Each structure stands twice: as structure tokens, then as C-alpha cells.
Amino acid sequence: MENETNNNITEEEQTGLRPAEDETRVITEETEITEITGITGETPAEGVSDGEEKAKKPPALVGYEWLESFALALSVMVLIFLFAFKYVTVDGSSMNDTLYDGERLIITSFGDLKTGDIVVLCEPGNDKPLVKRVIATGGQTVHMDFENWKVYVNGIELDEPYVRRIAGTTMKRDAYSGDITVPEGYVFVMGDNRNHSTDSRHFGCVDERAVLGRVIFRITPFSKFGAVD
């Protein structure tokens, strides 16, 4: 230990004894012999405790250790962010008035999908990512009342204040022909701008493996910075 060594050198220079490094080596060797032969040797003097040693470290060394720990923690956080989160940009108007064209979002692949989640997915047969809202998950049955703009899941009407309704018109039916029970491992999705969205009414249920992530945060515009519902 550095501080103990310095103290020993000062005392030995005054007494003319051998350098502290040699004494430390000799004591170590004697200790090893004692362990092998069972001979009880003289107990070495107690050293400086870890707490005292840390307290006496030079400020520069303490600062370097702190900086090293900070850099390691930052590296781990960056790796976690790269693998667990993605950065996407909204393209189109199918999610108005919740999301608008050009807005930048953070999505994550963590967590199970549930009704109401906004997700980024790949449309079946198309590699272009889409942003939609999950209406139902595996095992749930979807029913729609197009005249009154109402959606039911397992017989319960969804509360959808986010939907852009157009007065005097009915909700777009597209290729939807009747109640759909979502297969396990799939989701039924729709855009909040119901009459200007290509979604599960058109291409059917989506395999969960085609879901790139769930939207959790809006970065821009800064006036809307924060979580997305």
C-alpha cells in the first residue's frame, strides 16, 4: 500500500534499516513458509485500512477513477439505447390528430403489446414502416359500427377520444367484411385518422414479429416534447 510504504521509508531512513520494499518481501516470504511448515511466525504489523487509503488518495487519482466510472456507465447506457430503442420520423397523415407528418419519435421493442398502444410496423407485403394504433391483440374479437364510428373489442366499446371523426360521413369500411377474431401472436391495428388510413381493415391482422416497436416518446416538435398517448 502506497501510503504505508512512504511512512516506512521515512522511519527507516532515520534508523538506517533496509528499504521498506525488502521488508515487505521478506515478511511475505516468511508468511508463506509459515503456511507450509506450520511454524508460527511473527505477525506483521497492521497496515492502513482500505478506507484510510482511499481517503488519502491524491485528488487527481480520485478524479481519474470517477471519470473512468462515468465513461463506463455512459458506454453501457449508449449500448442499451442502441439495442432497446429506435428513432423514427412520422410520414403521412393517418395518425392525425395524435401524430403529424415530420414528427420525430422514440420507439422501444420492450414490453407486451396491448390495446391503445401506438406502434411502428411493417405492412404485410411492404417493407415501408407504418405508424398505427393497436385495437386488439391475440384472442380478442373486433366488431365495428361504421355508422356511429364505434369500435368494440370482446363486446366492449373502446373509449377513443383520439379518433378524427368526420361529421356527416360514415367510418371507412375498406375490405372489412365482419367481426374478426385476432389470431394468437397477431394484432389488429388502425390509424386515428380513420378515413385516411390504410390499416387492418385493408391488409388484415399483423404478425407481432412485424412490429418494430411501441412509441413511447415524441422528440420534436419541442412544443410537444414528451410521452405519447
- Is 75 a known active-site residue? no
DSSP, collapsed to helix, strand or coil, labels residue 199 as coil
DSSP, collapsed to helix, strand or coil, labels residue 118 as strand
Those residues with Cβ within 8 angstroms of residue 136's Cβ, 6 or more apart along the chain or in another chain: 115, 142, 153, 182, 187, 188
- Is 132 a known active-site residue? yes
Amino acid at 53: E
Which entry of 132, 150, 172, 200 is annotated as an active-site residue?
132
Which entry of 56, 57, 69, 94 is annotated as an active-site residue?
94
From the CA atom positions of the chain, what is the Rg in Å? 34
Distance CA 53, CA 76 (A): 29
Catalytic annotation, residues? 94, 132
